[in-house]
Amino acid sequence: MPALPASLLARDENVIALPLGGACRLSQEPSLFPGFTNCHGGTVADGPMALVIVKPTRIDTAIANEIAHNTNSGLEHAAQAMTWGADEHVLVALAAAGWLYTRFRHPQQRPVADHVLIVSLATAVLPHVLKSVFDQTRPDRLTVSGHGRGVPFSGRAHDAFPSGHAVHMGALASAAGLLPPAPGNLARSFAVALSLTRVALLAHWASDVVAGFMLGIVVERLFRPFTMAKSRQRQRRAGGQP
């Protein structure tokens, strides 16, 4: 990638640069480029318009600015590698493999495998539905200095809210409660770390990740009473309860 002009890499606490080299203030001021709204609104006129426009918060923009001005290619490459662990295709494939494994080797674990697979499928579909309703520009589309320091482009430009990766990881963190304490805590730490890679890559605003993570927890908890019902019945019978 050719070197960017030094002026574009200069630190400015209140600016996220636009993709073509311009910049707009994170306030209610008009954009410096036709076709863009102000950066605080985070929408681009040439993209698909959804039913609801989601604006990043001032905390979101402050975090994004800090990352854009302080990251480096090494950190971004590491985050790119790690973030695959939260990809929907990887997680659904692992859940399906686990489901098949329990069918042949550990039938007593079938309820858990059923639960994990159903939740994985639900959290794979739900973000796509929500992204068709909510429209928010990814922070990586609003920076030049970040790309000069290794920030990649992620996904579709207007699909920032919510973070699909974080939805999967929130569900994982919640489902970790079904595991013994040690592996459960490890799974939660893993889920949080992978969720944070989405912020580090400027693929999402911090609030997108928090919202997605909480949504994943809710989805997992909503499915649990239904998918784990048979497992609870077996435990009650084993304990001599009616």
The per-residue pLDDT for 42 is 39
Could you state, in chain order, the average pLDDT of each consecutive group of 10 residues for the chain (242 residues)?
A: 42 41 37 34 47 92 94 94 93 92 83 91 95 94 90 92 96 91 93 96 96 97 85 50 49
Give phi and psi for 91, each to the nearest 5.
-70, -40
Q: What is the DSSP string of 88-114?
A: HHHHHHHHHHHHHHHHHT-GGGHHHHH
pTM, rounded to two decimals: 0.76
Distance CA(240)–CA(111), nearest Å, equals 20
The predicted pLDDT at position 50 comes to 66
pLDDT number for residue 145? 86
Q: What's residue 107's pLDDT?
A: 78
Residue 5: predicted pLDDT: 43
Judge contact between 61 and 26, C-beta under 8 A. yes
Who's near 42: CB < 8 A, 6+ residues apart?
54, 55, 56, 136, 137, 139, 142, 160, 205
Q: Which of 189, 185, 183 is nearest to 169 (CA)?
A: 189
Q: Which helix (H) or strand (E) holds 134?
A: strand 134-135
User: Helix, strand, or coil here: 236?
Assistant: helix
